Structure 1
Amino acid sequence: METPRRIGRCVLDPARGALRDEAGLEIALRPKSWDMLLVLARHAGRVLSKDELLDAVWPGIHVTEDSLVQAVRDIRRAIGDAEGRVLRTVAKRGYLLDIAEAAAAPDRPSVVVLPFAHLGADPSQAWIADAVADDLTSVLARVRWLFVVARSTAFTFRDTATEVREIGRRLGVRYALEGSLRSDGDRLRVSCRLVGTEAGHHLWSGTSEGSAADIFAFQDEVTRRVLAAIEPALLESEASRAVLARRGDPSALELVRQGIWHFHKVTREGHATARALFVDATRRDPALCEGWTWLARVSAGRIAYGWAEDRAAEGAAAIAAGLRAVELDDRDPYAHYAYAIASAYAGEPQDTVRAGETVVAMLPFFALGHLVRGMGLLFAGDAAPAAESLAQGLALNPDDPQNFVWQVLRAVALLVDGRPREAREAAMQAARIRPGWRPAFEVAACCAMADGDRAGAASFAAKAAALPLPSGDVLAPFRARNPGLATRLDASLAEERSQPG
């Protein structure tokens, strides 16, 4: 197998048949330009004459040198080499390509979306299976921490019985998304599963059903559900890999992956360990966007949960880290999310709303974008759209370990919007996720009181009183900017506690 190589700002991967930019997105090249790039790459560092190139790229065909010059222009445009420093013209001799050996995004998790099988009786609907796989490939390619194999390469495995571990070995990828479309008249069902190619183990599986009468809406729904489910599954898998590996001298990105694993424990010790790892990662590689992104996230979390030793200093650090992440990669939705969550707990809620809207515009199926936008709207006192945005985010990612916080925020938004019954259910969802978290029962008590259920309110208030006070207040920014509403909630809770048991 030919080794991937870095060419200018791009990575050439002959085995996968792809030339990709620094974000992992495939760059299109005309067939003969691609052939010439491969020839030049195989003879990198050596001058190839025009005759050698013409014979290699157009064997047995007479073409003028204009075709050669056009292919050179195509390659230089693709690799960002307008001045000809990488693909050099050597006067009166030919062309020379200067490239270096470089694995194609070695630290990024890699995934291939395999062709979906069509299991229906109507062959005219087989195209839908291809369309779903195409959509998933395109959307996953926009997730900047992923390396996604090009569709043209993935589809070479159509109608083959190649085992997934063999596909992983051939393509050099760690994950494969495979699936099938079953059609029965107007009814469609897509089944998907995410598989780790090293051991062949399943990380996630799911199904979506819909109607062929509204095929484009069905495709969008499948893409939304799959992306929302597999992205956190991939992130969790990569974090576990990094923790298990624990190399003697890990790279900055490996430190970030280890930190993510500790971050998702959602404990004081876990956040402290994660923050130390993220700080170390930013020192080792100040240009690594992921390090600053996660540093902003963990710092905001430590403030929200009351685990920050110096709230003001950590808040300033969170904002600075979020801004640095956006500076390094303003096309990364995670970077904008990091700035949004930092702004929520250490800045201005309107900044949170704007950054959240940027995230949603970049990646509409990214749950955290909707969630942080809803948080900003709630903290700014705009309850109705806050509740809607939070509901969208929770629907996109129902398994996030921090959903107990998002559910309580949604409960408060619904309560302020005059929907106490819905608010109570959201608060109880938070209590189901984190049964020992006092704020869930306190908010549930307020909701029950507002709904006229005094007995229920007293029961929730008693449960809350039996639990330890949290070290922080996730609703602190809401209270600070909406003192009237906060006073009403606190008064309601005080009234419930005073009721006879």
Structure 2
Amino acid sequence: MSVVLDEQVFKFGGCTLDLRKGTLRHANGPAYLRPKAYALLTHLAQHMGRVVPKSEIMDAVWPDVFVTEDSLTQSIREIRKLLGNDLVRTVSKRGYMLAAEVEAAPEIGSQPIVAVLRFRNESGDPTDDPIVDGFAEDIINGLARFGTVTVLARNSSFFFASYARSEWQLIRSRIGADYLVEGSVRRHEDRITAAVNLVDAANASQLWGDRYQAAGSGFSAIQQDIVEEIVGRLARRVTNAGLQQATRKPITSLAAYELVLRGVALVRDPAQTDIEGAKAFFEAAVAKDPAYGLAHIYLGLSCALKGEFEQASHAVLVQARDLVANGLALSPDQATGHRIQSLVRLYMREHEAAEHHLRTALDLNPYDADCIEQMGLLLTMRGRPFEALGWLARAIRIDPMIPHWYQFDRSLALYMMGDYRPAAEALELATRPTPWIRTRLAACYAQLGEMDQARRQAALINEGDPDFSPIDYATKAMPFESPGDAAHLADGIRLALGARSASGAGQSTTTI
């Protein structure tokens, strides 16, 4: 059985050949072929189901080198030893064929398919064509690293230039993309202007567009800044569009990928009032596709979120850790999995392990705004708030929609720096004033000497949770690596609680 996932990834005989990564894997782990056997298998996979003449194979695998057919025979023998004799057939007097009955694509194939078209060169200088093509190719590579969209390979998408709106549906019919990224680049000395549009190919409507201008001493640095912004924005736009499609379908017909999308939408809801519902979606995704690593990863996250991380017991965190580890065993190159594992390990007070997983996530996908933002939180917990603010600012630049937790984590770094005013302003943006948000707001105002505001926030801390302890929150729940940082937050909380008691609010049920 075989399936072509895209022009870069092939599955056959229990193996996965990923040309983008240059890897060959079977169910039990990496598989190995000598370089020429690997090149031969690659050529056969790219022409699966077709008889490939020996002369064509020799030209593709041994170009400009004279070798006898013994070399070809030895490579075929090596491939058959790995795959079995039935998959690589000898067609007498003609050549070889990688032959397998095509199976249905796995449910992950329901991901949106994106094609990045060849960008227009508007500089008027043909020598800039390679630079413009490289710019679009960087977007292809960046999007591909997210794992939540299927990105067509350069050879398919670059068959077209960026065309007018009237051509978009034609392009969809030719290459099967759900979404198109099209645009132009103009370069003048060290300044470039890039226009980028995201298009829904089904109805030829533009979902998003923007223009970028940048200058600097080196073009590569400018290019990386622009690609980072584009990739971060496109990934969220495409994921949201996929969610809109999924919400129009009955739950019984949803693929595992779409079930995960529905669950993630509940997790990302600022109110987070239905974490149990999110958990149910992830459980359904695991049941539908037990090999779908991302479903296990998000199931682990939902378990920790249900316990609100800071209040989660050690047993809950261990359960979350193990679920995420299971997902990573299925999808080891999933940046999201390492990011979530980092968060779990952080709240288990395993700071070194948390940083290891997060840096692994950033190696896998340096453009992921959530990974970048979480590095800000981690560094704050490790006593490096100044460095953390740089990461947080970068995350907010990449993702201008600014999910709510970006601001909460930014406020904590600011508090630890002693910048209590902007810390309070960031927390005031909360649409769900939980006990811990009111606790931190009270601490900010107390540190500013604004005791009326501090008392007002402190008086409301236990409205939603009579058993919530502000001091325990600072000293036990928050995973600070340094006791001094925990004491800094606790000092502000004690000031606020003291002000509240002095105003006659001492009969509150707050546990101290």
Identify unmatched segments of 5+ residues in structure 1: none
- Would you say the 8 A contact 1:428–1:441 is kept in 2? no
Q: How does 1:238-257 map to 2 (within 5 A)?
A: 238-246=242-250, 248-257=252-261
Query: TM-score, normalised to structure 1's length?
Result: 0.78
Q: Which moved further from structure 2: 392-401 or 149-158?
A: 392-401
Q: Which residue of 1 aligns with 2:453?
A: 459
Structure-2 separation of matches of 1:78 and 1:143: 31
Determine the C-alpha separation between the residues in 1 that align with 2:77 and 2:159. 28
- Distance in 2, matches of 1:112 and 1:373, equals 31
Report if the CA contact (8 A) 1:479-1:486 is conserved: no
Alignment-derived partner of residue 6 in structure 1: 2
For residues 13-412 of structure 1, the aligned pairs below 5 Å read 20=10, 22=16, 26=20, 41-42=49-50, 81=82, 85-89=86-90, 95-102=96-103, 106-158=109-161, 161=164, 163-184=167-188, 186-211=190-215, 213-246=217-250, 248-304=252-308, 311-346=313-348, 348-401=350-403, 403=404, 405-412=405-412
Distance of 1:259 and 1:23 partners within structure 2: 30
Which residue pairs with 2:488 in the alignment?
485
Alpha-carbon distance in structure 1 between the residues aligned to 2:291 and 2:44 = 33
Q: Give the Å deviation of 1:145.
A: 3.1
Cα 1:39/1:227, change in 2 over 3 Å: closer
Give the Cα separation in 2 of the matches to 1:98 and 1:153: 23
Identity of aligned residues (%): 21
Closer, same or farther: CA 209–354 of 1 in aligned 2, 3 Å: same
Task: Please state how far the C-alpha of 1:98 moved relative to its aligned partner.
Answer: 2.7
> What SS does the aligned partner of 1:364 have?
coil
- 1:438-477 CA distance string (max 9 Å, x none): 6546534533543xx434x533652564577455788663
Q: Which sections of structure 2, spanning at least 5 residues, go unmatched?
A: 23-35, 505-512
Contact 1:350 1:380 in 2 (8 A): no
Equivalent residue letter for 1:454: G
1:294 deviates by 1.0
Deviations 1:140-179 (A, max 9, x none): 2222332211112211102655622222222122111112
1:248-273 per-residue CA deviation (whole Å, 9 max, x = no partner) reads 34333332222222222244542111
Shift of 1:19: 5.5
Q: What is the CA-CA distance between 1:334 and the residue it aligns to?
A: 1.1
The structure-2 alpha-carbon separation of the partners of 1:123 and 1:56, relative to structure 1 and needing over 3 Å to count, comes to closer
SS of structure 1 residue aligned to 2:248: helix
Which digits, 9 at most, give the CA deviation of each residue in 1:364-414, with x for residues without a partner? 22122223333333334444434443333333323243x3x3322322223
What SS is found at the alignment partner of 2:261?
A: helix
1:368 counterpart letter in structure 2 = D
Is residue 432 of structure 1 aligned with residue 429 of structure 2?
yes
| CA distance in structure 2 between the partners assigned to 1:55 and 1:130 by the alignment | 29
Q: 1 CA distance for matches of 2:494 and 2:350?
A: 26
SS in 2 for 1:432: coil
CA–CA distance in 1 between the matches of 2:42 and 2:134?
26
SS in structure 1 at match of 2:394: helix
The alignment partner of 2:367 has SS state of coil
Could you tell me how far apart the structure 2 residues matched to 1:64 and 1:398 are?
Answer: 54
Mapped to 2, the partners of 1:408 and 1:197 lie a distance apart of: 37
Instruction: State the distance in 2 between where 1:226 and 1:23 align.
Output: 29
Shift of the alpha carbon at 1:339? 1.0
Q: Give the counterpart letter for 2:332 in structure 1.
A: D
Question: What's the CA shift for 1:340?
Answer: 1.4
Q: Deviation at 1:18?
A: 5.4
Normalising to structure 2: TM-score of the pair? 0.77
The letter for the 1-side match of 2:335 is P
Give 3-state SS (helix, strand or coil) of 2:180's partner. Answer: strand
* Cα separation, 2, equivalents of 1:345 and 1:141: 30
**Separation in structure 1 between the aligned mates of residue 374 and residue 238 of structure 2, nearest angstrom:** 21
Aligned residues of 1:24 and 1:144 also touching (Cα < 8 A): no
